[in-house]
A and B are shown apart, each in its own frame.
Chain A
């Protein structure tokens, strides 16, 4: 059993042997970018019987395991988990390749199941993002082919029992129009923009800021901008805890538009805080090969949230 790793971040090489020795089940998405394939290729070859590659259809809210038959997420996924999860198991989720809605849903469902020994999440950083040439500054990082539009992440329809003023916390990414869309849909009285600093690479945080500068200015939110490490779910979690503590009279509405690790932090916070916040998400249709290459893989031990 892997011990004393709670709420800590590792480079894969530091913990690889322990992961290999102790993890019982591995979950991957079926993304096609280099970074999506990176761990999946390694582990499906090394431990084929322990690996589950999940295809998720955001529109239909259906899933399929290892290219098997489709099931309905809300009614069938828990049956799948119930059949494979056993008390004291250690599980590993590659959040790089798992779409954001599925990641939220899986983590919530895992939390409902038997007490586990360890829950690890992995994130592989890309070498670079594709950049569109000849388009406007704000349109430069068009990482998605479009959007299904705003609809709640499965399992996360929530409302505020106390009808408080809403505080929108937007974890900003490179696509400025996404944050604006969310802002226009959400009737929040205050907006807190969150930027990854440092970004995965020098200068990337500036890009997130630049892409959303206009919205930040228009909403007079410059004074409320918060910075967290782009690759740290724990900093995202801590930040949200602080925002919650400082704003007890407001209902938090969280928009996970930034990096996957920050989305992981939001998922952890929203699952632990049991419905006292809402999630708003625009369900992008991700472009294939929107990123190129891999740099490093981080492993987050999030066991303390689940075990």
Chain B
């Protein structure tokens, strides 16, 4: 066996040894992002590539990119990116009952002054390896004034000074109430002064500084106000690029009670979901190609298209596969016969003819769809039959032109899987694209698990064979389960969100399995959010922020205050677990009171809501049910 090598392991940009440039695929909007000197707020879910983008814009990455261009790298570099991540382990230290928010603000602003200037200093020292500075002492004296120290004469001295200041504030935070308060520097003075001073240097003339703030959502409200103030007051030669999750903004207020950020005046939004979604599949292929190219055999043979490794089944093929598993058996035959024979106004001969034609149809999808349609209120058997005859004879028909097939085929597939007790497979590049819903990390996660499971079964990457459907399916289900378990980390509502997800998934699972439903595939809910309590709304925001729900509404997302009537879909990444559809299906309308109980109610209350929406035929799973790494056939018979 060859050495274990999974091209999709350790994909997180923060953790890859050669992090950004090795795997970076430039999105279409990159030139605008780099070119714009306005502050930009980049909004996207977990794993949509926010960190990668910011890291790419950082001085460290741009130095490598520009070094590969003609001329010296600094002359090619239009902007200098100063990256800072709001690391939870640090920013949460600046919270607590020992100080009020006003006092914490001073401490946090001082801390930000230190860490950002320290980062700038590191960059300047690196530039100093290639260029000589003319005004080093003057710049350092200006910075000394910011921090109330007149002894700093060099960048090296400044970085030492800032390191000591960092230790000083850490000591203060570690021992609040026991050590003296440091002398606080004035908010925003440090990075502003440093930027203005540095562009006086000939080597940095006309350069622009981007302050790249990652994981803004980790900041407490008062901390966001500090950063908001910096954005509000950004001026030549610097601006901000902020990454945050949807609903990651806790306030748009600055440190002044009467001052607010305004999108028109202060920043523009780049919504990654909107920007990436239209060309997501192509983007994903390019990202995967970069990983597969690392394998010498695949690279040599040109087998670096991920869709080659992830073959799928069309809906029609999968319906046939399901029926083939139980050849000769049509579980819904009795219902079909009953409806046709009970239809009034038809001769017995015509009834026999309809039944014979439908049962004799070689396409199981069409056959089962016929039953769905005649069970649907308002449809007459004879009319559906006429459309059927038109379709099979190649004439215009509602089956094709009227989109009956297109609108119902996935739902029919789920019904067939349920009726035949055969597992619906989640496999294929196109399905994985839909499961990941524009989230590159989710897609890579699915690939990583797929290759890992395949390799456990003896798959060799160098053989460059497509990965079997059932292995992909296991991986998809495994990732769904992993995401479910990890919901609990979204504190303080982790457990509430997990139970809500299980309840919601249970409801949608029922709709997909209910063979009496003539309109299957319900996997969204709609609610008038204005009727919800503030806490439930907060939990709903958290569910969207944590990528548990996808939110759809008429207007482009701007802020929490706009949350009114919205449609929500359980994130498709969970669909293999609940065995439900991964495309936008039909909606379940929930009253605010029902949603309140599904989110915050007791087990009994949740079950009450579930019974009422499923007419008493379903209950919420209370735990993430057990599957093992080798649980290939749960929920149905395994077939090849």
Contacts and interface: CB of A to CB of B under 8 A. Distances in A.
A218 B9 contact: yes
Interface string A58-84: 001110000000001011101000000
B85 interface: yes
A189 interface: yes
A159 B178 CA distance: 20
B489 interface: yes
B256 interface: no
B93 interface: yes
A278 B627 CA distance: 36
Contacts of B489: 147, 149, 177, 181
Given A134-B626, A146-B495, 18 more contacts: A72-B177, A75-B175, A134-B623, A134-B625, A136-B481, A137-B628, A137-B629, A138-B482, A147-B489, A147-B491, A151-B89, A177-B488, A177-B489, A185-B88, A188-B15, A191-B15, A218-B10, A278-B89
Interface in B126-162: none
Top 9 A-B residue pairs of the complex, sorted by shortest distance between their CB atoms:
A75-B177, A151-B92, A187-B14, A157-B93, A149-B491, A150-B88, A161-B163, A135-B623, A155-B174
Interface string B277-314: 00000000000000000000000000000000000000
A145 B495 contact: yes
A138 B122 CA distance: 42
Interface string A138-169: 11000001111111101111110101000000
Interface string B73-115: 0000000000001011110110111100000000000000000
A148 to B, nearest CB: 6
Contacts, number: 128
Contacts of B176: 74-75
Contacts of B494: 146-147
Interface in B407-456: 448, 452
Contacts of B583: none
A115 interface: no
18 contacts: A60-B96, A61-B98, A74-B178, A75-B175, A75-B176, A132-B623, A135-B624, A136-B627, A137-B627, A146-B492, A147-B489, A159-B90, A161-B166, A180-B486, A185-B89, A189-B15, A218-B448, A275-B167
A184 interface: yes
Interface string B379-395: 00000000000000000
Contacts of A152: 89-90, 92-93
A136 B178 contact: no
B250 interface: no
A217 B482 contact: no
A280 interface: yes
B163 to A, nearest CB: 5
B98 A74 contact: yes
Contacts of A220: 9-10
A186 interface: yes
Interface in B160-185: 163, 166-167, 170, 173-178
A240 to B, nearest CB: 18
A219 interface: yes
B257 interface: no
Nearest to B167: A161
A157 B170 contact: yes
B120 to A, nearest CB: 13
Contacts of A187: 14-15, 85, 87
Most chain B CB inside 10 Å of its own CB: which residue of A61, A136, A146 = A136
Contacts of A76: 177
B12 interface: yes
A133 to B, nearest CB: 9
A136 B98 CA distance: 41
A94 B97 CA distance: 28
Contacts of B452: 217
Contacts of B346: none
Interface in A31-73: 60-62, 72
A275 B623 CA distance: 42
Contacts of B10: 218-220
A137 B478 CA distance: 11
Contacts of B629: 137
B446 to A, nearest CB: 13
B335 to A, nearest CB: 34
A74 B175 contact: yes
A271 B122 CA distance: 29
A147 B627 CA distance: 24
Contact of B174 (A147, A157, A218): A157
A146 B488 contact: yes
Nearest to B119: A163
Nearest to B481: A136
A282 to B, nearest CB: 8
A62 B175 CA distance: 14
A136 B628 CA distance: 7
Contacts of A138: 481-482, 485
Contact of B486 (A149, A154, A177): A177
B17 interface: yes
Given A134-B626, A218-B10, A150 B486 contact: no
A158 B170 contact: yes
B491 A75 contact: no
A151 B93 CA distance: 6
Contacts of A156: 174
Interface in A247-291: 275, 278, 280
B166 A163 contact: no
A180 B489 CA distance: 10
Centre residue among A72, A78, A146, A154 by max chain B CB count within 10 A? A146
A14 B170 CA distance: 42
A156 B88 CA distance: 14
Contacts of B163: 161
A219 B492 CA distance: 27
A155 B14 CA distance: 27
Contacts of A75: 98, 175-178
Nearest to B484: A136
A185 B92 CA distance: 13
A220 B122 CA distance: 31
A177 B173 contact: no
A172 B514 CA distance: 43
Nearest to A161: B163
A188 B10 CA distance: 12
Contact of B178 (A78, A147, A218): A78
Contacts of A135: 623-626
A48 to B, nearest CB: 30
Contacts of A180: 486
Contacts of A278: 89
A138 B628 CA distance: 9
A188 B495 CA distance: 28
Interface in A102-148: 132, 134-139, 145-148
